[in-house]
Amino acid sequence: MTGIDGSPQEWHSGSMREDTITVTSGDGIELQTYRWAPEGEPKAVVQLQHGLGEHAGRYRRFGEALTNAGYLVYAPDARGSGRTAKGEYSNWGPDGWPGWVDDLTKLNARIRADHPGLPVALFGHSMGSFASQNWLLDHSADVDAAVLCGTTDVAGLVPVLDSPIPADLSTFNAAFEHRTGFEWLSRDEAEVDKYVDDEMCGWTAQPLKDISTLAAASDPDQVARVRPDLPILLVAGDADPINGTGEAVRLVGQRYRDAGVQDVTVTIYPGARHEILNETNRDDVTADVLAFLDRTVGAA
């Protein structure tokens, strides 16, 4: 593999190789996408979608765990985020939220074209998990497993996200200590400091056009369109302020079961906050995700 400029890929710790490709959105945004590859032939692909106010580069440690286990990872900087934003953070483009959801379709098609026959797992964290919930209503046949990380029932979030007032992520910190204002992300102070010191993180998110369409993901009649044989794993911390001590995550899991999805696992980690991949128990979380992938897409 080569980088976007034709240069050789960069090697990281372990056996992970990295390059960048671009995927063009339906409204013309060039999505800068990391591709993290194992040393040998991959056994499956993980399509990774990050959260709001961050970027895909923060997932390199998780990417290394995935590639060391034999998985190939495609991780885009979402529209308005990371390198894709080119400094214009929360510039959501003409298509807004529906465009964000359709970006998953464009990347998934690229993955399928690049690696025909390989199983594909979708991994979405936070806002990426909301997009994943939305996307699965129409595209559950296009992936072989799904992981929803740091997720929640979107029914309660849509009215907040649909507000004309920009979203200030630091408001989630009300129940926690106020060393930086982002303690709600993790109990690991070093990880919080990395987030605060990263200029591509923590920016105030402008309203998303047509975010109201996300409400479909909480409609049981719409969720019934998800294919019944799709394995789904939901993972979250019980101290995550977006999910109400884990109850909202359990609600989402039960909604999938009620819709007929046969393989739904919900794992809630005691004491863990929002970014469970950056939490003090992150090794346990990573091991659980890998076990799920090995049981599903990795066993094909």
pLDDT at position 300, please? 66
| pLDDT tens-digit readout, 239-286 | 999 998 999 999 999 999 999 999 999 999 999 999 999 999 999 999
pLDDT band at 15; cut points 50, 70, 90: confident
Domains and CATH numbers, the chain: 10-299 (3.40.50.1820)
User: Whole-angstrom Cα distance, residue 125 to residue 123?
Assistant: 7
pLDDT at position 125, please? 98
Is residue 5 pLDDT above 50, yes or no?
A: no
pLDDT band at 105; cut points 50, 70, 90: very high
| pLDDT tens-digit readout, 115-147 | 999 999 999 999 999 999 999 999 999 999 999
DSSP class of residue 215 equals G
Task: Assess contact for 20 and 33: CB atoms under 8 A.
Answer: yes
pLDDT at position 11, please? 43
| pLDDT tens-digit readout, 175-224 | 999 999 999 999 999 999 999 999 999 999 999 999 999 999 999 999 99
Q: How many helices (H) and strands (E) does the chain have?
A: 9, 9
User: Whole-angstrom Cα distance, residue 239 to residue 289?
Assistant: 19
Is residue 13 pLDDT above 80, yes or no?
A: no
Phi-psi region of 23 (alpha: psi -120 to 50; beta: other; left: phi over 0): beta
The continuous run of DSSP H or E covering 11 comes out as: strand 10-11
Backbone phi, psi, residue 32, to 5°: -75, 120
Pairing of strands 17-24, 232-237: unpaired
Spatial CA neighbour of 139 closest among 100, 97, 108: 108
Is residue 161 pLDDT above 90, yes or no?
A: no
pLDDT at position 3, please? 39
pLDDT at position 165, please? 85
Is residue 6 pLDDT above 60, yes or no?
A: no
